[in-house]
Structures are given as C-alpha cells and as structure tokens.
Structure 1
Amino acid sequence: KEKILAAKRAGIKTVILPKDNKDEVMEDLPPFVRKNLDLRFVEHIDEVFPIAIRDFEKLKKKTKKTKSRKKQTA
C-alpha cells in the first residue's frame, strides 16, 4: 500500500503488481487513490516487460541472439 501511494505521489501512472495481491490491494486502497492509476496485475515476470518497456515487441524482434565466443588460450 505504501509503495503504491509513493508511486502516485511521484507521478507514476502505471504500477505493476503480483496478481496474488490483487484482492488485498483493491481492498486496502480507496477508490480516490486508485483513480488515475493504471494498476496491472501479473502472474509471471514475462508479463512485466511489455507493460514496462515501450515498444517491447518491436525491440524484441530487432534483437539478435549473439553467438557466444569460445575463449582462446595463449
């Protein structure tokens, strides 16, 4: 609850939270606090990146896997 309030005071508009905490968050935070906040509840870390990083899917497609180099011994 305190972290969500701090985020709101800091001007953060989107807050990502564990889905398991949804009932507690919705119960503890009055509607006027939730107003103008985009609360996103996720089950897995993979759900966070598209929310937190703009154009994540575009970046994901552009990123190439690099080949690992074998260490050369002298």
Structure 2
Amino acid sequence: MFDNLREDAAAQSFYEEEAQFQPAAGTEQARKSGSSRFLGMTPIQRFVIAVMMMFAVCVIGALCLLVTEKIMF
C-alpha cells in the first residue's frame, strides 16, 4: 500500500487537481450582485431576531442577578 507513496506524490501535482475544483470567476460576480439575503432573511427579519435575542439576554441576566441575590426587590 505504501510501497510507491513517494513516487506517486512526486508524479502528481497537487495544484493541478486543485484547479479543477475552483469555480469560474464569472459565477461569483453574478452571485454577489443578486439578493442581499443572509440566512434567507430580509434585513427587517434579521433586526427583529437581533432585538428578540437582546431582550432574552437582558431577561436571563436579570434573573441570574435575582437568583444570586446581587439585586433585591
């Protein structure tokens, strides 16, 4: 199995194999000029998710402060 490993490695060029899998330059530009969606959401949807996450972190932080008795009512 490993008898001709060095010969096989010297015979094949790594860069030739890598060039086969690189995408064409024209396809990247066409894809970037398309919609500006991240994770399939519009900017408004991302904003709502961010506000909901911020609210959840604030609530969890306040509950942790109450449980550890760092603040009192």
For normalisation by structure 1, the TM-score amounts to 0.27
> Which of structures 1 and 2 has the larger relative contact order (alpha carbons within 8 angstroms, sep 6+)?
1
Structure (1 or 2) with the larger CA radius of gyration: 2
For normalisation by structure 2, the TM-score amounts to 0.27
Higher helix share: 2
